[in-house]
Structure 1
């Protein structure tokens, strides 16, 4: 079950087999059924997860009960509410499976312990955190400066393995447009 995690880690850092095994043994496998929540708003997020297979949406529900999707987590993605995880505060996010999924979970306590025992893991997570901040920064800039059509086409280009797994409504919630606007964008692209 941890082979995909091991492969993922080795893409970013050099680590001995012994240390890698110790780190991966701290994870537990959790099966999550389609539509099941891994995290609900208001709960404390006390884990980080690595998606083995399946698809998740990480989202916030606004005061109008509309979903604002931050990202989709598919195979080899990390999912969590980092604010709740680090600061031990109630989550403002929900994490829900869009497909039957399997995820490797590590608790905050285990992760912190392993940081001190395996410095390479702390480096890995620093690299992953930096990559996440860069992606978030780019997404904010894109949302402020690009049209919905440009954002849609960029999503299809960057995440082709995700696009076919989500609904039009979910795509629209990620792009920050209404489903009707997304339909217009798609029709315009088809006509071009």
Structure 2
């Protein structure tokens, strides 16, 4: 809980009563590596705040290729936002890359928090705005940068993730095949 409260404190100040109410609305859960938190076509009823570990959201195309949409590590939130907000079946899987502990916040509890503690609404608005900015930049990068340049940006932006996540997931996040990614990394290590 302490990590969640620190995350919130970066953006808004909660009093003790508000903190207690917030803590009563989240539940802690642990998932083993490769365990699914959400499957495609399920409705995402909750969002997940990572206490420890790494989660990955992805979809699988008609050829069976996995496309990583996002990675979430300690202190980050993750959900299938389309499904979470619309209440419709989603297109994403959310999977633990390693043993992972999360705090789960159900949609109805999040709404209750928004109603009772407007500062929580502000906290999530700030997170969503930051996420929109990051997603816009990722789209621009994917359209205008080489794979090597995208990898450099990824390493700068997510230094902890780059060392903890298997290369196959990083390749998927960057939109390249694992084979291309391995060749690219060898080339970068040689300094060519």
> For the superposition of Structure 1 and Structure 2, which TM-score range results when normalised by the shorter chain?
over 0.9
Partner of 1:99: 98
For 2:180, the equivalent position in structure 1 comes to 181
1:119 alignment counterpart: 118
Unpaired runs of 5+ residues, structure 2, are none
Regions of 4+ moved over 3 Å: none
Q: Which runs of 5+ in 1 are unaligned?
A: none
d(CA) in 2 for partners of 1:124, 1:81: 19
Q: TM-score, normalised by structure 1?
A: 0.97
Matches within 5 A, 1:70-109: 70-109=69-108
**Deviations 1:16-57 (Å, cap 9, x if unpaired)?**
122122112200001111110000001000001100001111
Q: Distance in 2 between matches of 1:75 and 1:13?
A: 19
Contact map agreement 1:48 1:108 (CA 8 A) in 2: yes
Counterparts of 1:180 and 1:114, CA distance in 2: 46
Query: Displacement, 1:167?
Result: 1.6
Q: Deviations over 1:53-105 (max 9, x none)?
A: 01111101111111110111100000101110010010100000011110000
1:190: how far off? 1.2
State the aligned residue count. 191
TM-score (structure 2 length as normaliser): 0.97
Partner of 1:147: 146
User: Is the Cα contact below 8 Å between 1:34 and 1:97 reproduced in 2?
Assistant: yes
What residue is the counterpart of 1:56 in the other structure? 55
Shift of 1:165: 1.5
